[in-house]
Amino acid sequence: MTAPIIELDQLTKKYDDQYAVDHLSLTINKGEIFGLLGPNGAGKSTTILMMLGLSEPSAGSVKVCGLNSTSEPLAVKQRVGYLPDDLGFYDDMTGFENLIYTARLNGIDRKTAEERALQLLKRVGLLDAAHKKSGKYSRGMRQRLGLADVLMKKPELIILDEPTLGIDPEGVRELLQLIRHLNQVEGITVLLSSHHLHQVQQICDRVGIFVQGKLLAEGNLEELAEKLYFEDLFVIDVRVDHIDQQLIKQLNEVKGVNRVAQISDKEMAVYGESNITTDIANIIIQTNTGLQYIQQRNYGLDEIYHRYFEGADHSAKNTKS
């Protein structure tokens, strides 16, 4: 049974005459890792601020953990951990001391706070640096301390705004692993905002593509591919001994094939709306054109996103009902 943990209904934020968030409706369920993916200025941070009750919607509503974020921001804050992109710590305090400070602000008693802080520092791989001043931490270490910090109050949901910004690849890998672990082992729901496609693709169950305040599409990778690329959902790369016009004609006649693009005298790409790999292989074998290689191309989110945004006419591509 899926239960909603974030419910946005026609959520809107307007600055002067510009929509930062434009009638956004979206439901995120308990236990998910949801990726809010979009370029700079898409409205991701504004949406998050409204979820936390830190910014008031111009219209529409936002509920988090069953609470209205706009009218009950403090209750939401108790249940949600938020890691902003410009995370601040007291740099002259150690990592451990920073966590204890957060615990005090959240009304956690000293003994519990110390136990929890050490547990969390261990979990995020900072036990060795626990008593080092946080001002001396690297950006990756600060983000991991940030995760420990939001976990101090045992949140049901964590919201991470561009958590991997400025971290080196190894640090990114560790941070993503940690986020996945928190989700899978501890059952914490995660909302992650990012414009890093590969990272979102690695850990998110579902992704929402967000542009100019609007959600263009949402779903898992397969669903997104279908929503954004419904015309040429399947692309099959083929290499044969020789390509002739008869072969191209026959391939074009296969049910489900949209077009055949010849790339060289031996290579072509066949675009279709259904999985036509077997039919194509059969034709090549029947026509004795010497099949060397055939493979269905898998779209990653990266390719989906880039091909989608490179296309000029978004509305035309996104009209599948």
Ligand X SMILES: Nc1ncnc2c1ncn2[C@@H]1O[C@H](COP(=O)(O)OP(=O)(O)OP(=O)(O)O)[C@@H](O)[C@H]1O
The footprint of ligand X (CB under 6 A) covers 15, 20, 38, 40-46
**Least distance to ligand X from the beta carbon of 65, Å?**
22
**Least distance to ligand X from the beta carbon of 42, Å?**
4
**Least distance to ligand X from the beta carbon of 105, Å?**
25
Q: Which residues contact 12 (CB under 8 A, 6 or more apart)?
A: 19, 21, 22, 23, 24, 57, 58, 59, 60
Our CB check for ligand X shows the closer of 12 and 45 to be 45
Our CB check for ligand X shows the closer of 244 and 302 to be 302
Our CB check for ligand X shows the closer of 23 and 133 to be 23
Our CB check for ligand X shows the closer of 58 and 258 to be 58
Rounded to 10°, the helix 221-228/301-310 angle is 20
The Cα-based distances of 301 to 63, 200, 216, 304, 305 in angstroms read: 28, 8, 14, 5, 6
Our CB check for ligand X shows the closer of 43 and 208 to be 43
Helix (H) or strand (E) holding 12: strand 4-15
Letter for the amino acid at 228? L
Four-CA torsion 287, 292, 295, 297, nearest 10 degrees = -100
Dist. CA 87–CA 143, nearest whole Å: 8
Our CB check for ligand X shows the closer of 47 and 289 to be 47
DSSP 3-state of 267? strand
Q: How many CA atoms lie within 13 A of 270 on its CB side?
A: 32
Our CB check for ligand X shows the closer of 94 and 194 to be 194
DSSP 3-state of 120? helix
**Least distance to ligand X from the beta carbon of 13, Å?**
7
Dist. CA 251–CA 238, nearest whole Å: 11
Dist. CA 33–CA 213, nearest whole Å: 21
**Least distance to ligand X from the beta carbon of 306, Å?**
17
User: Degrees (nearest 5) of the Cα angle 308, 311, 316?
Assistant: 90
**Least distance to ligand X from the beta carbon of 164, Å?**
12
**Least distance to ligand X from the beta carbon of 50, Å?**
10
Dist. CA 203–CA 176, nearest whole Å: 7
Our CB check for ligand X shows the closer of 126 and 160 to be 160
**Least distance to ligand X from the beta carbon of 213, Å?**
7
- Taking the mean position of all CA atoms in its chain, how far away is CA 303? 14
Contact 175, 144 (CB under 8 A): yes
